[in-house]
Structure 1
């Protein structure tokens, strides 16, 4: 087997097509030889991982081998997928998150229990816990998983802040589906679909003072940061203190008066501003999708970290105090009035990835906004 693997590794960069390698992996897995698939992927990573940016054959074959192991039912396949991502040759934080998403989407919890006793990094385990939570699994009762998930030793991990069950705010999140040949996911962006707030130019707007800080802008925009850092996206996140309570009918006019970059040129027939009320579940859902699945040219941070990023962004928008627990954040989020907005300005790309969100605090004296756009 070693000679066979070495032959594939050596010839890979010169291959015009890699489908024969895929088929060889399919045949091996069909015979129950999941170890060959993992060994081949590990060998490829050992030789080509540092040059992945320029060797498309490596990227294509490695991704296929991981998908094949992670999405094909069977405990042996799970064990080999975990051995692959835990190997020194393939070790990578992004790969841990990706593998956890693949496994949780395709394998039952009882098969994934092996990750908490055998070959798996702590990062894979943490991600698996919350990928399963996102899929409605009660990890506090899952045999082989509950002991690790409920232990205190990983509470300092970033994902340790998240609750071990979905909240009402999260509902049932839209999650990607995967197979050996690819995956798919929903894109909940676009124009508001709730009750539109008519623009009234006579509606009073209170005095306003911008209070945006770098820290608040970073926290508010964390769910869409991957659009700007790994794709072609733009982000605007700002916070304002209001000199008097803001009424709902004044929100469109208020937005136009704030000097927002995303609304430069709005107000004409071609660039009309639309503002709609929305329940607090809407911003969480949109921000989770943006964080977990990414923008035009990237794949996001996957489910577990996407869940964390969505919570962080809605906490920033709502004005929840830093250090609050999830229940406290949700209470503050629900006390806010939420709006979704959009406009046909040059700032928004209007391809597929456009977000415009506003939160007005319970006392109606604080307004925060987040806009994001991306394009291919």
Structure 2
């Protein structure tokens, strides 16, 4: 086997099409030899800067991670654990692949075998997103409930889904790639439209750099890794703002995303449930924009929580349950407009949250294009 793998690897750089190598690996895995695919992947890891080796490595990982069976899981874990391949982004991707392609009991090997703490933390929350009760799953519960990963940023997330998180849009993976929904039209065709009108009290901008950064967590990857732009702002009202006056207020705040909107440029504002707001934020964070792959499920969940928490203007130090209660106390809106700020391709988000006391209005807009 070693000679066969050496011959394949030696000739990869000369190939214009690596699908023949994919077929060889698929045939070997199909007849019960996943170690061949893992060995070949490990051999390709050192040269992943070349597209042929990178393509073969990724195909082998998807092959092992989406083909049922604990033996395939073990070999996928061995492949990504090799020093030449290991990195945090690969761990996040692998956790998403494994959780989508295998039953929870087959994934217990990740918590005893050669897997990084990063991969394990991500895998826990990828499973939570898929409705797995990790606290009761043999082989996983012990690690998930232990204190030794309390320093990890994902540890702050609850191990069970809140009601608003149920039904998250998760990608479907196969050997040839992935597919996922794009629920970024955050206003059209869902909740009741808000006609506008009504009095808007005097307003003072209360945006801080820290608040803007937190609100933008779910869409930051659009701006940092793709062609996107983001506007995140907070406004304080001198007296409570009536929910029916929110459309009028949005047009009066001087938002860049709504510059020029009004009489000649259509604006739509609709009421949203908190679950709909979370769904949009999670999709933006987990699946990414036009030119990137996003944060995947675990970190996408964290980013969505952070954005939602900041949009609700939650005080520091609240528990997850207290944040969820405050978020439910807000009035949520989706908005869209035919302004030049939005790209109007596929990735447009407009969300606003009226605080429970109706004295604070937080706004997040994002857009991206290919």
Relative to the length of structure 1, the TM-score reads 0.96
Q: For residues 177-226 of structure 1, what are the alpha-carbon distances to aligned partners after superposition, in whole Å with 9 as ceiling and x for unaligned?
A: 111111111111113321000022xx211111111111110000000000
Contact 1:161-1:325 within 8 A present in 2 as well: no
> Is 1:355 the counterpart of 2:349 in the alignment?
yes
Separation (CA, whole Å) in 2 of partners of 1:248 and 1:160: 36
Number of the residue aligned with 2:194 = 197
Structure 2 residue corresponding to 1:160, chosen from 155, 171, 176: 155
Number of the residue aligned with 1:66 = 61
Separation (CA, whole Å) in 1 of partners of 2:216 and 2:71: 40
Aligned length: 368
Counterparts of 1:52-131 in structure 2 under 5 Å?
Answer: 55-131=50-126
Separation (CA, whole Å) in 2 of partners of 1:148 and 1:123: 12
Q: SS of the residue aligned with 1:17?
A: coil
Contact 1:139-1:146 within 8 A present in 2 as well: yes
Structure 2 residue corresponding to 1:137, chosen from 109, 115, 132: 132
Counterparts of 1:275-314 in structure 2 under 5 Å?
Answer: 275-314=269-308
Number of the residue aligned with 1:150 = 145
Alpha-carbon offset, residue 131 of structure 1:
0.4
Separation (CA, whole Å) in 2 of partners of 1:170 and 1:61: 35
Structure 1 moving runs of 4+ over 3 Å: none
Consecutive unaligned residues of structure 2, counting only runs of 5 or more, are none
Number of the residue aligned with 2:219 = 224
Alpha-carbon offset, residue 105 of structure 1:
0.4
Q: SS of the residue aligned with 1:348?
A: coil
Number of the residue aligned with 2:233 = 238
Q: SS of the residue aligned with 2:233?
A: strand
Contact 1:318-1:360 within 8 A present in 2 as well: yes
Contact 1:133-1:139 within 8 A present in 2 as well: yes
Aligned alpha-carbon RMSD (Å): 1.0
Consecutive unaligned residues of structure 1, counting only runs of 5 or more, are none
Relative to the length of structure 2, the TM-score reads 0.98
Alpha-carbon offset, residue 153 of structure 1:
1.2
Separation (CA, whole Å) in 1 of partners of 2:244 and 2:120: 48
Alpha-carbon offset, residue 3 of structure 1:
2.1
Q: For residues 216-265 of structure 1, what are the alpha-carbon distances to aligned partners after superposition, in whole Å with 9 as ceiling and x for unaligned?
A: 10000000000001111010000011111111221111111111000011
